[in-house]
Chain A
Amino acid sequence: MTKKKAGMSRRDFLKTSATLSAGAMLGPYIARDAFAASRDRVTIYHSSVADSLHPYNHSSSPIYGNWQHVIEPLVELDYQKQDYVGVLAESWEFQGKRWVFKLKKGIKFHSGSPLTSKDVAFSIDRMKNDKLSLQGPNFKDVSEVQTPDDQTVIFVMKQPNAIFLDRLENRFILSKVAADKYGDKLDQNPIGTGPYKYVSYQRGGNFVFTRNDDYWGGKADIKEVVFRKVTEDAARLAALEAGQADFINNVPVHEVARLQRHPRVRIDQIEGLRMFFLSFNVAHKPFDNKLVRQAVNYSVDAPAIVKNIFDGIGYPINGPVGSSVIGADPKLKRYPYNPGKAKELLAQAGYPNGCDIQLYYSAGRYPNDREVCQVVAAQMVKGGFRVELISQEWALFWGNEGVNGGKLPFYYIGRGSLTDADTLYDQYFRTGTTKWANYSNPDVDKLIEEEQKTPDQKKRIVLLQQAGKILMEDVPFVPLYNLADIYGAARNLVWKKRPDERVVGLDMKIK
């Protein structure tokens, strides 16, 4: 046995240092490679992903974005043109009490069967009559869906409805052939006409789609798209920075400046269509009292929230809806921040010693929601309220024990894809559409009914403005602000920015 010298020989030293320096030089390249997004699979961490495989058991913009990979609507809104364009529909015509749609020819479902008017009628029927569907109210004016031939669908209305395209925008069409084949197992086998096919779904896990190579609209660039619901802002961001996710939504505003210098991450901002507000359910005390609702409006300072919580990247709403929404009225102003006035109104309403209320929200759903609600609570304290904050998991918050069942008296919410004031007024403030606010005012009902019958846009806007004026006086809600949607993406992933919170594989390309 040779006697080993203590320490390291020269040769060993050279070997080690060569290996180390090669490693040090290559390391960053290997790492950078791992960080770049790949054409084979794009992983999206989103704060809001489908909570079940039921295609109609939701009414939320980001979740429409999940489903539109697989199933498609008749029409969609082109945000640049500010007008509707056909997806499955070739053309359409408004004939008073009838809407007549012609379908595009040659579109096939993933299973191979052709798209026909029967599929449309079946899907609409399910949206309307399935107990779990949350999209039924869109068809409350539809008395019948006729299918005279395979390419023609006729919606027969109880009364003329000029804004029916808006109602049809997110109504996705399933295959009737598949429904007949799978029966009550249909939801485990979603079959549509979309650019992607369904692969797998786990609640709280991954929602996976793979490219439909025979897509009628041209093949997508990305092969596989994976959605994962991550409600924690910091967790999504960490995943993006670590290369685990290629795309995330709701990047916290306070991280934007740092990330703009990040070598592997790109930040995209766009003014969002989501309108944030505090909704009352006026069936609950004390919000049945108009004075209390006005007092809340006087005690919440939305501009201060935008300035401080969102670093000024946001757009406080003056009036019932944002200024770029159809039906906005530049003459209407928001209630100024005036806690003294709020206290006065509360005293008039019979609460001279203040009033105990609960504010519900679903932490992690919207940007900085936890902070927003804490600030709202503190502001309202100055207006004479004592506010208890209650955060609930979204499925509970939005479900039948929550907003949809009319059980929450006061909650923080955002209405996505809001381009026309009619959407908000009809959903929240028209008698009987939903139980979300339980507000009922015959004057508002009449104006909405009339506005929906009016094909002339200018006249329609006047009617919407009249409704808006009444709503600002009655305030069944506290309008707050629109935000910028802030996305983070791997640098080599390019996509067509959308203002509607949807992340769509078809919009993406790898550089």
Chain B
Amino acid sequence: MVRLRYLKILVGGWILFLLLVSGLAAPFLAPYNPQEQRLESRLQPPSWMGGQSSSSWLGTDNLGRDILSRIIYGSRISLLVGATTVILAGLIGCFLGAIAGYFGHGTDEVVSKITEIFLAFPFLLLAIALMAFLGQGVINLILALMMSRWVQYCRVVRGEVLSLKERDFVTAAKALGGKDFYVLFKHVVPNTFASVTVIATFAMAIVIIAEASLSFLGLGVPASIPTWGSMLSEGRSYMNRAPWLTIFPGLAIFITVFGINLLGDGLRDILDPKLRREA
């Protein structure tokens, strides 16, 4: 189904694009300052649900802050944390995986044992432990998520390199006098990019959810920065009286993760050589 495959990429891509735009242009898009409290108009329902006319499209929260503006600004943290973590974890994971796969023997042993240790921890639990140890903050959050996310890249790249290094073009490159690192990073590693891209998109979705979970638990970024997770956390005691406090940030997380997953799915369909041949 070629067309469905492109539709997935199109929809997913658009969602990610909109998210990027909203994150980058947040100060121009947001109708209000996300931190500005207007206590006199707290817990206002969305304007189309009978709230104060023409004020807040998605209503206001328990301190009278505009929910739409907070969601727009919140996308910055999701994107920043998601993208940075995925890229950094990807670099580390790919590098270690490539070395392990290519050189084998002792190197492989050491790297594989380390990945197994990390795999033994449930992902979110490791992130929680690291956050509790490092303390709140965006950089710490990225570090914690990265530490628990690089393993997957490492495993996949190692596996791919193991099979690639036996192929003729590698032998040829070596026969022509290519040094190990040159052959590895010039000829072998680029051939793993298809799988790495797919892992990266799925990892990004997982990281965005993890960031929201940690913020929900109060272990993410400090309270002064709006994030979707902390909006959910603060809004949940108002579920009965003002459900819009939790519905909209929840939707934002849902749509973002859905979009990224669609994109990843579509990319896999196209990049996976097996599926490509059948098409």
Interface hits, A356-413 → B, CB 8 Å: 363, 370-371, 374-375, 377-378, 388-389, 391
Q: Quick check: is A500 within 8 A (CB to CB) of the other chain?
A: no
Q: Quick check: is B238 within 8 A (CB to CB) of the other chain?
A: yes
Taking A254-B238, A255-B241, A370-B234 as contacts, is the C-beta distance between A389 and B223 under 8 angstroms?
A: yes
Inter-chain CA distance A254–B218, complex, in Å, is 22
- Nearest Cβ distance between residue B214 and chain A, in whole angstroms? 15
- Chain B residues whose C-beta falls within 8 Å of the C-beta of A388 in the assembled complex: 222, 224
- Chain B residues whose C-beta falls within 8 Å of the C-beta of A371 in the assembled complex: 62-63, 234
- Chain B residues whose C-beta falls within 8 Å of the C-beta of A224 in the assembled complex: none
Inter-chain CA distance A23–B130, complex, in Å, is 51
A375-B37 in contact (CB<8A): yes
Interface hits, A63-104 → B, CB 8 Å: none
Inter-chain CA distance A363–B218, complex, in Å, is 10
- Chain A residues whose C-beta falls within 8 Å of the C-beta of B63 in the assembled complex: 371, 374-375, 378
Q: How many residues of A contact B (CB 8 A)?
A: 20
- Nearest Cβ distance between residue B42 and chain A, in whole angstroms? 6
- Mask of B40-79 contacts with A, CB within 8 angstroms, 1/0: 1011000000000000000000111000000000000000
The residue on B at minimum CB distance from A241 is: B240
Q: Quick check: is B5 within 8 A (CB to CB) of the other chain?
A: no
Q: Quick check: is B35 within 8 A (CB to CB) of the other chain?
A: yes
The residue on B at minimum CB distance from A374 is: B63
B239-A234 in contact (CB<8A): yes
Partner of A378, one of B35, B62, B218, B237: B35
Q: Quick check: is B39 within 8 A (CB to CB) of the other chain?
A: yes
Taking A255-B240, A378-B37 as contacts, is the C-beta distance between A389 and B234 under 8 angstroms?
A: no
- Nearest Cβ distance between residue B216 and chain A, in whole angstroms? 12
Inter-chain CA distance A307–B42, complex, in Å, is 11
Taking A363-B218, A370-B234, A389-B223 as contacts, is the C-beta distance between A308 and B40 under 8 angstroms?
A: yes
- Mask of B214-256 contacts with A, CB within 8 angstroms, 1/0: 0000100011100000000010111111000000000000000
Partner of A254, one of B35, B64, B236, B241: B241
Interface hits, A45-73 → B, CB 8 Å: none
- Nearest Cβ distance between residue B187 and chain A, in whole angstroms? 51
- Chain B residues whose C-beta falls within 8 Å of the C-beta of A374 in the assembled complex: 37, 63, 223
Q: How large is the interface on B (under 10, 10 to 19, 20 to 34, 35 or more residues)?
A: 20 to 34
- Chain A residues whose C-beta falls within 8 Å of the C-beta of B239 in the assembled complex: 234
Inter-chain CA distance A505–B99, complex, in Å, is 67
- Nearest Cβ distance between residue B135 and chain A, in whole angstroms? 10
- Chain A residues whose C-beta falls within 8 Å of the C-beta of B64 in the assembled complex: 308
B240-A258 in contact (CB<8A): yes
Contacts between the two chains (Cβ within 8 Å), count: 43
B240-A308 in contact (CB<8A): no
Most chain A beta carbons < 10 A, residue from B42, B222, B224, B234 = B224
Partner of B237, one of A233, A258, A309, A375: A233
- Nearest Cβ distance between residue A89 and chain B, in whole angstroms? 44
B236-A234 in contact (CB<8A): yes
- Chain A residues whose C-beta falls within 8 Å of the C-beta of B42 in the assembled complex: 308
- Chain B residues whose C-beta falls within 8 Å of the C-beta of A494 in the assembled complex: none
- Chain A residues whose C-beta falls within 8 Å of the C-beta of B222 in the assembled complex: 388-389
Inter-chain CA distance A258–B234, complex, in Å, is 20
B218-A391 in contact (CB<8A): yes
- Nearest Cβ distance between residue A458 and chain B, in whole angstroms? 42
Taking A234-B239, A391-B218 as contacts, is the C-beta distance between A308 and B223 under 8 angstroms?
A: no
The residue on B at minimum CB distance from A378 is: B37
Most chain B beta carbons < 10 A, residue from A233, A374, A389 = A374
- Nearest Cβ distance between residue A12 and chain B, in whole angstroms? 41
Partner of B39, one of A252, A375, A377: A375
Q: Quick check: is A31 within 8 A (CB to CB) of the other chain?
A: no
The residue on B at minimum CB distance from A387 is: B224
- Chain A residues whose C-beta falls within 8 Å of the C-beta of B40 in the assembled complex: 308
Inter-chain CA distance A308–B239, complex, in Å, is 18
B39-A308 in contact (CB<8A): yes
Inter-chain CA distance A363–B222, complex, in Å, is 13
Q: Quick check: is A242 within 8 A (CB to CB) of the other chain?
A: no
Inter-chain CA distance A304–B63, complex, in Å, is 12
B39-A304 in contact (CB<8A): yes
- Nearest Cβ distance between residue A68 and chain B, in whole angstroms? 30
- Chain B residues whose C-beta falls within 8 Å of the C-beta of A252 in the assembled complex: 237
- Nearest Cβ distance between residue A282 and chain B, in whole angstroms? 26
B residues with a Cβ closer than 8 A to A are: 35, 37, 39-40, 42-43, 62-64, 218, 222-224, 234, 236-241
A residues with a Cβ closer than 8 A to B are: 233-234, 252, 254-255, 258, 304, 307-309, 363, 370-371, 374-375, 377-378, 388-389, 391
Please list 9 pairs of residues, one from A and one from B, whose beta carbons are closer than 8 Å in the complex, sorted by A's number: A254-B237, A307-B39, A309-B39, A371-B62, A375-B37, A375-B63, A388-B224, A389-B222, A391-B218
Given contacts A254-B238, A304-B39, A389-B223, 18 further A-B contacts (CB under 8 A): A254-B43, A255-B240, A258-B240, A258-B241, A307-B39, A308-B42, A309-B39, A370-B223, A370-B234, A371-B63, A374-B223, A377-B224, A378-B35, A378-B37, A388-B222, A389-B222, A391-B218, A391-B223
Closest 10 CB pairs of A and B: A308-B39, A234-B237, A378-B37, A389-B223, A233-B237, A254-B241, A234-B236, A252-B237, A258-B240, A371-B62
